[in-house]
A = this chain, B = another copy of it.
Amino acid sequence: MKLNPHISVDCVIFGFDGEKLKILLLKRNISEDGNPVSSVDYKLPGNFISDEEDLNTAANRVLKDLTGLENIYLKQFKVFGKPDRVSKEKDLKWLHDTTGLPIRRVVTVAYYSLIEINRSKIELTGNNKAEWVSIEEARELAFDHNDILNAGLSTLRTKLQFEPVGMELLPEKFTLRQLQTLYEIILSRKLDNRNFRKKVLKVNYLTAMNEKEKDVAHKPAQLYSFNKELYLNNFIQFEGFQF
């Protein structure tokens, strides 16, 4: 497979494990001053595209090769092409050491996905030390990967306003408290309880079940479920312009 050193793909894979919003990262060994591993940092799963493949194919191939993840929904969300995005000495050296390719300027196409880590029983099978790292801990990533992660996060937060992203990440039956916690985690701030309930209960695709929490120390809370079909209808209705 002949790699194209001008164009790469990078994958921002968000994961939720019921408690934290995480990001799938690869450990990178930096060799300096003749020391084979003088430091370690993290990067997004990504690589150059090959000459024969389309961008989407490349993103799926790279993700599978590096982390073992496959058959997940990957969405192109932005292209990063600042002329100096690959210019730090340690990044250039690492690229040279790992690819042997002549690197000048690299434009990267960023993809994202959102995964429920536990429910989907994901196994990371790559040999590349892929890890789920909590968002707060993903500091000082390689290249401009912090910019890419932030843009991905911002895409996710916008999506949260249009689509019931959160509800799909929760168990089939959930409490409003669980839903609020998920929103607080993704938005990274506390929300007003009363306000949250008021707004959330306005949407008709959140269905109250004939059921309450069981085996809890506190007063059992009402359980809800997400009615995807109703959501899709509601959504179209709102638009007013879907004729």
Contacts and interface: CB of A to CB of B under 8 A. Distances in A.
Given A53-B83, A76-B79, A239 B105 contact: no
A81 B7 contact: yes
- Identical subunits present: 2
A54 B79 contact: no
Interface stretch (A17-25, A64-72, A133-141, A187-195): A187-195
B81 A241 contact: no
B203 A240 contact: yes
A225 interface: no
A6 interface: yes
Contacts of A91: none
Given A55-B79, A78-B76, A83-B53, A243 B6 contact: no
A83 B52 contact: yes
B51 A200 contact: no
A147 to B, nearest CB: 12
A185 interface: no
Contact of A183 (B83, B109, B243): B243
Contacts of A196: 243
Tell me whether chain A's interface is mostly helix, strand or loop, or mixed: mixed
B162 A83 contact: no
Interface in A189-225: 191-192, 195-196, 199-200, 202-203
A129 interface: no
Given A7-B6, A183-B243, A243-B192, A109 B200 contact: no
A202 B199 CA distance: 20
A183 B196 CA distance: 35
10 contacts: A7-B7, A54-B83, A55-B107, A81-B109, A161-B239, A161-B242, A183-B241, A191-B243, A199-B240, A202-B240
The 9 A-B pairs of least Cβ separation, nearest first, read A6-B6, A55-B81, A161-B239, A199-B240, A191-B243, A202-B240, A203-B240, A7-B107, A79-B109
